Structure 1
Amino acid sequence: MLNYRRFVVLLLALLLALLAAGCGLANFTTPKPYKETQFLMDTIIEITAYGPGSEQAVKAAFGEFKRIHDLANQFDPNSQLAKINDQAGKSKVSVDPELVHLLKRAKELSAQVEGAFDFSIGPLTELWGIGRKGDFVPTQAEINALLPLVDYRLVEVDEVHNTVYLPKPGMRLDLGGIAKGYATDKAVEKLKAMGVKSALVNAGGNVRVIGVKPDGAPWRIGIQHPRRSEDIIAKLALTDWDTLQTSGDYQRFIERNGVRYAHILDPRTGRQPQEVASVTVALNNSTDGDVLSTALFVLGVERGMQLLQKFPGVEAVFVTQDGRVVTTPGLAGKIEITGK
């Protein structure tokens, strides 16, 4: 009994000493994070994972980003997407089944959002070349000449033979509005398959989480102010969703004669929407979130709200050009508006 008491006293003394040295009990129970950052898919991607094997899982997740990038990068002449574009109006192109799957989903989503997102927008994004042509702004005549080439309904995706065909010469696919979200989903699948129970993936505004934070609290994500890069305009805890996706006019844009021209185009007009500065959607799928945030940005607040009625469970935060923050009814009491 005496030895046992001495053991208890010594153990308590040790714990007190550790606490006095600033080493709390949480240090013994909280798994250490592994964090890695890479520049892929034209953005900064950061993955943080907790628990055993997290380093290997994170590296495998980055492998998914690179794999999808190589598959769907229209600027790489060796990519399958570039080959589809090169053969527009000429012949069908055999591609990997995964690319067929992605294109089929892009076509379905384009229809669901009534063309506000259109993955055949390539001729227009190439014409504008935001980020690649200085402050170039095309004429209305140049835009009008390309509008007939933008129509997702014309894209022929053959799931049986794994081929894709663009029937008009000059058509070009651009998966910039869906590939990053799809890659995020694939990266999360890889993390989960390798046993990760707690993680956060941030792919340039595309945020998806696994589980809760190591301390048991939900992940709480800030939404950037579209005009003040150091400020957060709202915060949302991901309790009902695992994905927060943002599209905005503040990361890739040019300014000419005091006018801002962002990289997001309305496929129907070939020009930049002017009502909102950013749109954030909360849901449980990054692929769909990538498309929906873009479509809502194009449609604006009123028409965007109407569209969301077709997507139960998806919530949105609109920040207008004049700084108003408009949220869907499902976010009432769940979102904190931190700035104006």
Structure 2
Amino acid sequence: MRHLANNSYIVIMIFVTIIVTGCFSQKQYKETRFMMDTIVEVTAYGPNSEQAVKAAFNEFQRIHDLANSFDEESTISNINKSAGIKPVNADPEIIYMIKRANSMSDKLDGVFDVTIGSLSHLWGIGKKGEYVPALGEVSAILQKVNYQLIEINETQNSVFLPKSGMMLDLGGIAKGYAVDKALEILKQNGITSALINAGGDVRVIGKKPDGQPWRIGVQHPRNSEGISAKLALTEWDTMETSGDYQRYLIKDGVRYSHILDPRTGYQPRQLASVTIVNNNSGDGDILSTAVFILGAERGIELLKQFPGNEAIIVTAEGKTIVTPGLEGRVELSVN
């Protein structure tokens, strides 16, 4: 247990520390697991808290099994292996995630693209060690990245990738979707006070047992012991974070993160992290990735097209930028 200043915060980081102060009459159950390539921590209060948390993790696992492109037996892998050959029957939830992502991609001029899977596998951040592909390899793979080519047949519940070698990667949307579904499970189990943090994707139910709002600390992307900003999160808010500090490699002094620009095949360099705070819009996970790729200036302009979405942006140089809608709600930290 670690205390920050004189208050208690939930720090969004790869190893999440949840700090609870005071003595509460409600039963607390907290569990942490490594899932979906990140640390997932669920804390719930109430007589049914343990059962509810375990059910929430079962839901995380279910979504992970559906969408994991590195699992040879998953639906996504079957779609990828059949690219250029035949359509594959897919769970309606997979089709929902693809359609939602593609709808957002249309609004983002392709800066978010779920057919980035071939690039993700080429780089293999966290999978291949210190592997940096050659320019020619990246250029060849870029020809297989185009979300507009995906063919969906909702009558037959099938998905077809028309080019051999095309691959889906739902990593930019599946985790946020899983968090939302897990939150529903907690509510179905009667939980009225809880917090889910899946590597910076945060949801809460109600307030803390002492009646205070959940206080959130956004991890400093270059200091695992520090935070960049603090704010109170209500039940009507969600948070989604994209950053270059969880899955990355450093080779010859250059940082290569798992976030790739589908237009270039390489990592964006301007920002270190982007946290989107919104009013349950459902778009925060995609928007955090899009802003991260576009950079601060263009990213902030982009958010004006999506009312209700605000951002806490940390640049590669360590500067923290807060969009106007969060002014007065965010306390910036000095690290």
TM-score normalized by the length of structure 1: 0.89
Aligned residues: 315
Query: C-alpha distance in 1, partners of 2:144/2:233?
Result: 40
Spell out the pairing of 1:94-133 with structure 2 (5 A cutoff): 94-133=89-128
Spell out the pairing of 1:136-285 with structure 2 (5 A cutoff): 136-239=131-234, 241-285=236-280
> How far did residue 339 of structure 1 move?
2.0
Query: C-alpha distance in 1, partners of 2:319/2:156?
Result: 49
Partner of 1:60: 55
Secondary structure, counterpart of 1:216 in structure 2: coil
The alignment status of 1:83 with 2:78, answered yes or no, reads yes
- Greater CA drift, 221-230 or 28-37: 28-37
Partner of 1:37: 32
Q: Which has the larger radius of gyration?
A: 1
Query: C-alpha distance in 1, partners of 2:192/2:28?
Result: 12
Check 1:154–1:79 CA distance in 2 against 1; reply closer, same or farther (3 A cut).
same
Higher relative helix content: 1
- Over the aligned positions, Cα root-mean-square deviation in angstroms equals 1.6
> How far did residue 242 of structure 1 move?
2.6
Contact 2:24–2:209 (8 Å) recurs in 1: no
Secondary structure, counterpart of 2:242 in structure 1: strand
Contact 2:204–2:234 (8 Å) recurs in 1: no
Query: C-alpha distance in 2, partners of 1:187/1:50?
Result: 15
- Greater CA drift, 242-251 or 281-290: 281-290
Contact 2:63–2:178 (8 Å) recurs in 1: yes
Contact 1:206–1:286 (8 Å) recurs in 2: no
Tell me which amino acid in the other structure corresponds to 1:231. G
Check 1:160–1:308 CA distance in 2 against 1; reply closer, same or farther (3 A cut).
same
Structure 2 spans left out of the alignment, 5+ residues = 1-20
Deviations 1:149-186 (A, max 9, x none): 10111111222221100011010000111111100000
Check 1:292–1:151 CA distance in 2 against 1; reply closer, same or farther (3 A cut).
same
Partner of 1:12: none
> How far did residue 286 of structure 1 move?
8.2
Tell me which amino acid in the other structure corresponds to 1:63. N
TM-score normalized by the length of structure 2: 0.91
Tell me which amino acid in the other structure corresponds to 2:44. A
Contact 2:206–2:234 (8 Å) recurs in 1: no
> How far did residue 27 of structure 1 move?
8.1
Query: C-alpha distance in 2, partners of 1:186/1:260?
Result: 33
Partner of 2:308: 313
> How far did residue 287 of structure 1 move?
4.9
Query: C-alpha distance in 1, partners of 2:209/2:85?
Result: 54
Tell me which amino acid in the other structure corresponds to 2:333. T
Contact 2:204–2:235 (8 Å) recurs in 1: no
Secondary structure, counterpart of 1:215 in structure 2: coil
Higher relative strand content: 2
Query: C-alpha distance in 1, partners of 2:136/2:65?
Result: 34
> How far did residue 95 of structure 1 move?
1.3
- After TM superposition, the runs of 4+ consecutive aligned structure 1 residues lying more than 2 A away are 26-30, 239-242, 284-288
> How far did residue 28 of structure 1 move?
8.3
Contact 1:208–1:286 (8 Å) recurs in 2: no
Structure 1 spans left out of the alignment, 5+ residues = 1-25
Query: C-alpha distance in 2, partners of 1:120/1:252?
Result: 20
> How far did residue 30 of structure 1 move?
3.2
Query: C-alpha distance in 2, partners of 1:298/1:132?
Result: 22
Query: C-alpha distance in 1, partners of 2:41/2:281?
Result: 15
Tell me which amino acid in the other structure corresponds to 1:136. Y
Contact 1:315–1:330 (8 Å) recurs in 2: yes
Contact 1:207–1:245 (8 Å) recurs in 2: yes
- Greater CA drift, 111-120 or 148-157: 111-120
Query: C-alpha distance in 2, partners of 1:194/1:161?
Result: 34
Query: C-alpha distance in 2, partners of 1:273/1:320?
Result: 11
Query: C-alpha distance in 1, partners of 2:274/2:215?
Result: 18
Secondary structure, counterpart of 1:336 in structure 2: strand
